[in-house]
Amino acid sequence: MKVGVIRGLLVAAALASGQATAPASAPTSAEVRGKRVVNDAVKALGGEKFLQMEDRIESGRAYSFYRERLSGLSIAKIYTTYITVASGHTADDLGQRERQAFGKNEDSYVLFREDGAWDVTFRGARELEPDRIQRYHDATLRNIFYLLRQRLEEPGLIIESRGVDVVDNQPVEIVEITDAQDRVIKVFFHQSLKLPVRVELARSQDPGAQRRNGTLRPVSRSQGRHPVAARDHARAQRREDLPDFLRRGILQPESDGQYLFASGRTAQIWTG
């Protein structure tokens, strides 16, 4: 009887040891192909130079709509700086600061930081509503260029190929990227340029959720596209209510007209 018990314990120990030392499952062919497509996109964007980029300036136009009709048009610039996010927190914490400036003189802008967000005009600054800040937070986490720059090494990120297709008369490779919170990004990469030309967003656990589609016009290796939020003209607070870092003028344009969050490497992008 004792011999049988000992044999059973030995067998259980051997099985447990085998499970503990079993190699991780090999990536599927869809994962291998998806990872290759994403790596090609990073290379097309500049490879290590893109991954080490610290600041980015985008220029373009912002359009406002009311009841599906154009109600406003403004020159826009978006100034972005990337900041380091603690390991294991890239799925929740943003790793960038952003300033969306409007008008020829950039005298009004929206500022997003890790400690808050403000709408600033000549009247002063008004703190943004929490739901708008949350929308910006969620949209940035699923922005394909942000994901390629900040989230590729995130634990639990699954990248899978969904084959090839033709979208807007362009041959594309389709890749689905799913994070640990089941946020799904379907990206359509141009087969020749290797750059994203269309993005679809959804949550995998909610099959009834509406997908948000965004089309990105084909760009060269030195260009990019970025959505610009419509201006919010709500009443602003007085200038004296500005946060300290705004009152001190830290976030003001440089003398040469370029705005920099930091003195590191900067990319300038014209967005049409």
Separation between Cα atoms, residue 61 and residue 228, nearest integer Å:
8
Residue 126: which H helix or E strand, with range? strand 124-127
Task: State the pLDDT at residue 140.
Answer: 94
pLDDT at 255: 35
Distance set, CA 137 to CA 41, 112, 113, 116, 154 (Å): 24, 9, 10, 11, 17
pLDDT tens for the chain, 272 residues long, are: 455 555 555 545 555 555 444 455 678 899 999 999 999 999 999 999 999 999 999 999 988 888 888 888 889 999 999 999 988 899 999 999 999 999 989 989 999 998 899 999 989 999 999 999 999 999 999 999 999 999 999 999 999 999 999 998 999 999 999 999 999 999 999 999 999 999 998 755 444 444 455 554 443 333 333 333 332 322 222 333 334 433 333 333 333 333 333 333 555 544 44
Look up the CATH architecture of domain 29-270.
Clam (2.50)
Q: Spell out the residues 6+ positions from residue 94 whose beta carbon is closer than 8 angstroms to its own.
A: 85, 114, 137, 140, 141
Distance CA 74, CA 112 (A): 19
Cα–Cα distance measured from residue 227 to residue 271, given in angstroms and rounded to the nearest whole number: 9
Please list, in sequence order, all residues whose beta carbon lies within 8 angstroms of the beta carbon of residue 257, skipping any fewer than 6 positions away. none
- In the block, tokens 């300036």 appear at 57
Which residue carries 């004792």 as its tokens?
Answer: 2
Residues 6+ apart with CB under 8 A from 218: 170, 190, 193, 195, 197
Measured at the CA of 145, the angle between CA 204 and CA 271, to 5 degrees, comes to 125
Q: Please give the structure tokens belonging to residue 100.
A: 């969306």
Partners of residue 196 on adjacent β-strands: 189
pLDDT at 88: 86
Q: Domain segments of the chain: what residues? A: 29-270
Cβ atoms of 117 and 136 closer than 8 Å: yes
Report which DSSP code applies to 128: P
Q: Which residue has the tokens 């869809």?
A: 30
Q: What is the dihedral of CA 10, 16, 21, 24, to 10 degrees?
A: 150
Residues 6+ apart with CB under 8 A from 71: 64, 65
Q: What is the pLDDT of residues 125-145, one digit of tens each?
A: 999 999 999 999 999 999 999
Decide if 199 contacts 144 (C-beta within 8 A).
Answer: yes
The pLDDT of residue 159 is 96
What pTM was computed for the model? 0.68
Name the helix (H) or strand (E) containing 188. Answer: strand 183-190
192 is written with which tokens? Answer: 């020749």
Q: What is the CA radius of gyration of the chain?
A: 23
